[in-house]
Structure 1
């Protein structure tokens, strides 16, 4: 079964300095039909004004992934981490027993755009941790996060994997799905075709009880998407 989440139907929040689109219920946006999918709880597409950002605030028992699409994030947290996260890099912050952090647009002139992703952990009250990495822009599937940290992936405290999908024009890919797993696709750019369904930027798809996905880029621009493999 495949259920498409249309980009235009996402929740919207605009605070002046922040313009955000919510795939799932978040903050003041509530839709009982869109509370998450498996252990995937949040996908927010955030645009932050130059010099603005999220003041110091706390989290507990959540795996928080940020993926920078444009600009740079200036990150600071209570564990002593102070880093710049440029476009193309992924950040994983395991909140565990509790962590305080701030996320600001590092530029005083250009906007910042990034995806904020929350995944529920499989165990609670772990020691907080932080990591960031650029995984490049290779064609096909590139694994970003795993529950084992294998092959220098980000170590996530959940039986879940995150992949980056990149397809150049006129290319295709078959993806096998382990029985019982749930897949969520989040489209970032280009038009991705699978099973005669087209996903455009901001669209998503819940995929259940499917054994194989045939993914194709039949357009003229590069396709970029995130693929979540969930319990």
Structure 2
């Protein structure tokens, strides 16, 4: 088994006044040649957008972009004429494919919005752009893995053009759970701690830590406190 630990305080930072961002992997002005990606997981940004502010219209192509709001309401508009608001409990996916423009704004004028934005390299290029969002039942992740993303359009959660599976779990202190990889021969798992503390295969992880494991078929999670975790199972190579 191989592992990589990214402590919360080692992430890149960006402070733009209206935006506070933490970058697990190299992004924008933060560059670390040892922190380029975890397999096809290219970007994991932990963003706080000030009230009424946001990202103006900008382009993307050939990237699977997943947004998970943690607090507040985020308004999305794109060149496919989609206008939507996503909130805590939702998950949004944008397959940029052959090219798309979009904007993202904090819909509220009185409080910040907090979100994760995740980029995954696709296994198909120049596909037709696609947008989707769903609302999740948070109760379905209490002491069990709630699948929120997969490669399959008829499976639980949203889907993307990649052999990847995302799951979320809210685990009670003292509880132990085992995650079995869908494709252990090709995939690894990157765990991101939304809050709390847990021991992953004997490694302690805490708030906003990231921990990647590969060349293994199963991962043991023991909660040292009540904890919320995001598990991202992704191919370690795009070939």
Alpha-carbon displacement from aligned partner over 1:115-171 (angstroms, at most 9, x marks no partner): 000000001000111111122222211111111123342120011111112212222
Give the count of matched residue pairs.
229
Counterparts of 1:101 and 1:134 in 2: how far apart (Å)?
Answer: 21
Alpha-carbon displacement from aligned partner over 1:6-31 (angstroms, at most 9, x marks no partner): 10000000001000000000000000
- Alignment counterpart, residue 230 of structure 2, candidates 205, 218, 226: 226
Structure 1 runs (4+) greater than 6 angstroms displaced: none
Counterparts of 1:169 and 1:23 in 2: how far apart (Å)?
Answer: 26
Q: CA offset at residue 88 of structure 1?
A: 1.7
Match of 2:57 in 1: 56
Counterparts of 1:17 and 1:227 in 2: how far apart (Å)?
Answer: 29
Counterparts of 2:186 and 2:61 in 1: how far apart (Å)?
Answer: 29
Using the size of structure 1 for normalisation, the TM-score is 0.96
CA RMSD of aligned residues (A): 1.1
With over 3 angstroms needed to count, the CA separation of the structure-2 counterparts of 1:141 and 1:152, relative to structure 1, is closer
Q: CA offset at residue 206 of structure 1?
A: 1.3
Using the size of structure 2 for normalisation, the TM-score is 0.93
SS of residue paired to 1:151: coil
Counterparts of 1:176 and 1:81 in 2: how far apart (Å)?
Answer: 36
Counterparts of 1:218 and 1:43 in 2: how far apart (Å)?
Answer: 24
Q: Tell whether the 8 Å contact from 2:150 to 2:156 is kept in structure 1 after alignment.
A: no
Counterparts of 1:150 and 1:136 in 2: how far apart (Å)?
Answer: 18
Q: Flag structure 1 segments of 5+ consecutive residues without an equivalent.
A: none
Match of 2:206 in 1: 200
Alpha-carbon displacement from aligned partner over 1:54-105 (angstroms, at most 9, x marks no partner): 0000100100000000100011001010011011211001101111100000
Q: Flag structure 2 segments of 5+ consecutive residues without an equivalent.
A: none
Q: Tell whether the 8 Å contact from 2:147 to 2:156 is kept in structure 1 after alignment.
A: no
Counterparts of 2:155 and 2:97 in 1: how far apart (Å)?
Answer: 23
In the TM superposition, what are the counterparts of 1:1-231 in structure 2 within 5 Å? 1-137=2-138, 138=140, 139=142, 140-177=144-181, 178-219=184-225, 221=226, 223-231=227-235
Counterparts of 2:212 and 2:224 in 1: how far apart (Å)?
Answer: 21
Q: CA offset at residue 182 of structure 1?
A: 1.1
